[in-house]
Structure formats: C-alpha cells, structure tokens
Amino acid sequence: MRHTTWDQTIERQTKVLTEELKLMGVAILEQDAARLQFLAQRKYDRYDLFSSGETFLSRLMQWLENFDVKDRQTAMEIVDSLKFVSQYEMKELAVATFEGIRTSLFSTRRLSDENWRVYMESREQMIGEELSKSIFMACADDILFDYFRRYAMQQVSVFNKDNFVEYYKIDEETRIDLPEYKRIFLIDQLSGSGITAIRKEDSGWKGKIPTFFEIWKEDVKDCDIYYCPYLQGPASKQHLEASLPVWTKDIGRQKSVKVLPTCSISVSSCLSSDEGLTIDETLPVANLCRDDRYFSKFVDDRHIRKGGAAYYGFGRAGLTLVLQSNCPNNTIPLIWHSYNDWFPLFPRIAHHR
C-alpha cells in the first residue's frame, strides 16, 4: 500500500486551490497558491471571529463572489497584500513596547560628570527608580494588557500592580490610591489614522488624548505624557504631528504629548506606488474600493463618518491589516463590512456597537 507524504498532500491541496480559483476567474501561480495555503493554515484560519470549523479559503471563495468576474483578479491583489497580526505577534508587540519605553527612559538620562563605569553599574537601579514613578494605562481593550503588566513586573522588581491601570477613564477616588508618579504611558493597540487619538470636532477637541486630559485634569498638569501605540500607520504619524502641537497650544499646556510607536506599518502595497507612504488613487485596487457597484453596499455610521469617506478605511488609512482578535476599521471596508448581503472576508465587530 502506497502512503501519501505530507509534501504530496500539500501539493495536491495547492493544485486544488489553483483550479478552484481558476473556476472563479482568478489566475494564480502554483507557488503563490502554496503561499496562500500556508498562510491560511498557519494564520488566517485562527481569526477569532470565524465560526467553528470555518476556514479562510472557504470564505475566500464566497468573498470573491461579491465581485463581478472581471474584477476578481484585482480583488485577489487585496488578498495578496494582507497583513495578519497573530496573538503571538501581539504579545511580542506588548513586550517590545515595554522594552522601548525602558530604553527611552535610559536614553534621555544625562551622564553629567559621573564616571562611565559607575554610571553603568547603577544604570539599572536608576531606570528602576524612574519606572517606579510611571503609570502604564490601557487605551484599548485588545492590547493584552494583563500580559503587558505581567511581563513588566517580571522585568522590574519595583513595580506593583498599582503602576498599571486597565482603563484611562477612572474616577477621582481611584486615582487617589495610585502610587506617586511623574509620567504616564497611554498604551494603545493601533493608530491607523490618528483621528481616534485626537481630532478637532466643531469648536472642541475630541479623542482619547483630550478625553484623558479632561478626566485627569490637574492630576497630570506637571506629568510627562506618552502615547504608545503598538502599531502606527503613516496617516496617523502625519495627523498626530500636525494636531498635537495645535491642541497643546489651545489648552495652554507647556509639555506636549510624546508619541512612541512600537512598529510602523505602511499603506497597503496594493494601494500605494511609493513604498507605502501614500495612497495612489490610480491603482486598480483603489478604483475597486471606490467602485459604486460595491462601495454603495457599505453603510457608514456616525463613528465612521468622523474619518471622512471610508473608501480606503477609516481616516483614509489605506490598510489591509487584520488582527487575530478583530479587523480594524482602518482596513478597507471591502474586507470586513457585512451590509446589504456583502460577504466579508474577515467579519468585524464594531467597538461602538
């Protein structure tokens, strides 16, 4: 009896996938089909919002049926450019965020006239003292904050649980019980456009950062405040660089909020021709995103409208990013919305629902 090897099984599955896509009107090289098969099994199938037993490839075929046959090849460019952040990778981002914060505190210390050898010996103690005067605060519910806290407490013995606040909207009585602090780190998961963090709305400022300052008021008057997203897109970088100085001046604050992103992400390769810096609206995928036959099925809400027209995702972020826990609204709606019988590739649960 002849036994089928693992390689033979993969080869057979790849050929089946190639043929199935061909029947859908999509031409794909076998090596690209093999890559897609690998990513589906290792990453995409683990998406938290898939139903039990559901697979990415089965959803892919249904998703392609949303489009006219002549547009399916272009739609596959979206699939080829997907960036999927797994739970393991999110944990690594949490670790990297804390280590980045620790490094930033060290790099801002001045040596003055101390002997270098003595300084190096006492460095960890000094950094520990500085960290003990820090508060780490969650600005989102998908940042694995418990994991972040446990890792930090393993690394730095001076920490106690009160150095970590699970949500920035806490009352004044709770704030009284916090340890003495002189800096606060606002930890966020993703800043795709920066609009959720801060924006001018009507005659006032809205967003996570202004809301934080409104709640904490005098308690942060003399504090150093850092905004620390795990992931930041180019639209966010540009928006925050323009908005934060204006807001700081408007509220009469002397110290500006410093932005410390852990990982910079690019505009999706299928939407950009300048290595992910900006959206190129002449590209086929950009035309597909704006095509009224498809986009007219999308229904925005008052939260989405705060970022303008959502052809390229909330705030024109231009992402094809998917997080294992959910699909961000900064990602193009063709991937995640489910209005008017549109079948999403990665269904999304809105945080504001």
For residues 249 and 146, state if they share a domain: yes
Angle between the 56-64 and 72-80 helix axes, to the nearest 10 degrees?
150
CA gyration radius for the chain? 23
For residues 259 and 151, state if they share a domain: yes
Give the domain extent around 113: 87-264
Residue 111 confidence (pLDDT): 46
For residues 109 and 222, state if they share a domain: yes
For residues 161 and 234, state if they share a domain: yes
Residue 52 confidence (pLDDT): 92
For residues 119 and 154, state if they share a domain: yes
Q: Is residue 281 part of a domain?
A: no
Q: Is residue 42 part of a domain?
A: yes
Chunked mean pLDDT (size 10), the chain, 353 residues? 65 92 95 95 96 95 98 98 97 97 70 55 74 92 94 92 88 80 95 96 92 90 94 97 96 92 97 97 98 95 87 97 97 97 96 62
Residue 300 confidence (pLDDT): 87
Residue 195 confidence (pLDDT): 96
Domain boundary among 264, 282, 310: 264
Q: What is the pTM of this model?
A: 0.91
- Which residues are paired to 219 by β-bridges? none
For residues 134 and 50, state if they share a domain: no
For residues 235 and 108, state if they share a domain: yes
Q: Is residue 4 part of a domain?
A: no
For residues 185 and 117, state if they share a domain: yes
For residues 52 and 174, state if they share a domain: no
Residue 222 confidence (pLDDT): 86
Q: Is residue 190 part of a domain?
A: yes
Domain boundary among 224, 242, 264: 264
Q: Is residue 186 part of a domain?
A: yes
For residues 165 and 218, state if they share a domain: yes
Domain boundary among 264, 299, 334: 264
Q: Is residue 193 part of a domain?
A: yes
Q: Is residue 141 part of a domain?
A: yes
For residues 53 and 91, state if they share a domain: no
CATH number, domain with residue 209: 3.40.50
For residues 110 and 240, state if they share a domain: yes
Q: Is residue 308 part of a domain?
A: no
